[in-house]
Amino acid sequence: MIVVEPADIVAAEPRGRSRLYVVLTRAVSSLVVLHRQPLPGAVRTAGTESPLPDAPG
Protein backbone atom coordinates (compact mmCIF):
# COMPACT_ATOMS: atom_id res chain seq x y z
CA MET A 1 0.00 0.00 0.00
CA ILE A 2 1.21 3.49 -0.77
CA VAL A 3 0.00 6.46 1.29
CA VAL A 4 0.61 9.89 -0.22
CA GLU A 5 0.58 13.04 1.95
CA PRO A 6 -0.79 11.76 5.28
CA ALA A 7 -1.20 15.37 6.47
CA ASP A 8 -3.74 15.96 3.68
CA ILE A 9 -5.75 12.94 4.85
CA VAL A 10 -5.85 14.37 8.38
CA ALA A 11 -6.81 17.86 7.16
CA ALA A 12 -9.50 16.70 4.70
CA GLU A 13 -12.25 16.00 7.23
CA PRO A 14 -13.04 16.25 10.95
CA ARG A 15 -12.35 12.53 11.40
CA GLY A 16 -9.16 12.70 9.34
CA ARG A 17 -6.97 11.29 12.11
CA SER A 18 -9.25 8.26 12.36
CA ARG A 19 -9.19 7.82 8.59
CA LEU A 20 -5.38 7.96 8.58
CA TYR A 21 -5.26 5.36 11.36
CA VAL A 22 -7.41 3.03 9.27
CA VAL A 23 -5.25 3.59 6.19
CA LEU A 24 -2.02 2.90 8.07
CA THR A 25 -3.26 -0.20 9.89
CA ARG A 26 -4.80 -1.95 6.87
CA ALA A 27 -1.56 -2.54 4.98
CA VAL A 28 -1.17 -6.31 4.64
CA SER A 29 2.37 -6.89 3.42
CA SER A 30 4.05 -3.50 3.02
CA LEU A 31 3.48 0.19 3.56
CA VAL A 32 5.16 3.13 1.84
CA VAL A 33 4.47 6.70 2.95
CA LEU A 34 5.30 9.50 0.50
CA HIS A 35 5.23 13.06 1.78
CA ARG A 36 6.65 16.55 1.44
CA GLN A 37 4.68 18.08 4.29
CA PRO A 38 5.66 17.25 7.89
CA LEU A 39 4.10 13.98 9.01
CA PRO A 40 1.21 14.28 11.46
CA GLY A 41 1.86 13.70 15.19
CA ALA A 42 2.38 10.06 16.06
CA VAL A 43 3.30 9.12 12.49
CA ARG A 44 6.50 11.18 12.88
CA THR A 45 7.69 9.09 15.82
CA ALA A 46 6.09 5.72 15.04
CA GLY A 47 9.10 4.06 13.47
CA THR A 48 12.32 4.43 11.64
CA GLU A 49 12.59 5.85 8.17
CA SER A 50 14.07 3.76 5.43
CA PRO A 51 15.75 6.12 2.96
CA LEU A 52 15.16 5.48 -0.71
CA PRO A 53 18.16 5.37 -3.03
CA ASP A 54 18.79 8.48 -5.07
CA ALA A 55 17.06 8.55 -8.43
CA PRO A 56 19.38 8.05 -11.36
CA GLY A 57 20.30 11.04 -13.42
| Alpha carbons 10 and 41: distance in angstroms, whole number | 10
Which pLDDT belongs to residue 46? 60
Residue 57: per-residue pLDDT: 45
pLDDT for position 52: 47
Global pTM reads: 0.65
Beta carbons within 8 Å of 48's beta carbon, 6+ residues apart: none
What does the pLDDT read at residue 29? Answer: 85
For the chain, 57 residues long, give each residue's pLDDT as a single digit of tens: 889 999 999 999 999 999 999 988 887 788 888 899 888 877 776 655 555 445 454
